[in-house]
Amino acid sequence: MISSISSNHIIIAPIGSVIKDSILTQLAEFIYDRCGLECRIEARVEIPDTCHNKIRGQYDSKEILKYLISHSHPKSLKFIGITELDLFVPILKYVYGLSQINGQFAVISLHRLYPGFYNDPPNPNLFFSRIQKTTLHELGHAFGLTHCREKKCVMYSSIRIADTDMKESSFCSTCFELFKWHRENAK
């Protein structure tokens, strides 16, 4: 990991499933716009079967992070994995994403971001804004930020999808300052 800290960009890669190119490129632009960090899109990473919990029919996001930490050594500041798989951690029924707080890796799931998951009609704009918010949120964690008490802030904890829909796709001014501070200190 030490070698990777020198680089100053972010890697986005599909994890365990195909993700549309248009989603990845738009996401890269979005991150650049919000954080001023260049993104590179990399090839899909396959994950081992050990991440799959057959009883729950879901994928263990912590196991995915563990796998990424030990198997990929990207020369980037942060690595964000995007997956269609439904993610969980052992104690929770589901998670929208997971990151190593103050670490290098994060993974987010699109599974529960589709309006269809909640029996709502398709809505590409809503879907994409959920992806943006979830990604920026997990990226914030990866930079060391914790949850914010401002409901509009992207670092507000998303317990339900309604929380995600209510917040904006940007940091509040305090979290943005903190983000910059952590980014400076991450170099």
Query: Interface with Zn ion by CB under 5 A: which residues?
Result: 148, 150, 153, 155, 172, 175
- φ/ψ of residue 108, rounded to 5: -125, 150
Structure tokens at 171: 């940091």
Site for other proteins in 52-71 (CB under 8 A): 62
The catalytic residue among 29, 63, 84, 138 is 138
When the beta carbons of 133 and 141 are compared against other proteins, the nearer one is 141
Q: Please confirm, yes or no, whether 138 is among the known catalytic residues.
A: yes
Cβ-based nearer residue to other proteins, 8 or 146: 146
Beta carbon nearer to other proteins, 14 or 164: 164
Q: How far is the CB of 166 from other proteins (least distance, A)?
A: 12
Q: Which two tokens stand for residue 119?
A: 């029996």
Dist CA 124 CA 39 (whole Å): 22
Q: Which residues bind other proteins (CB under 8 A)?
A: 62, 88-95, 98, 101, 141, 146-147, 149-151, 157, 159-160, 173-175, 177-178, 181, 185
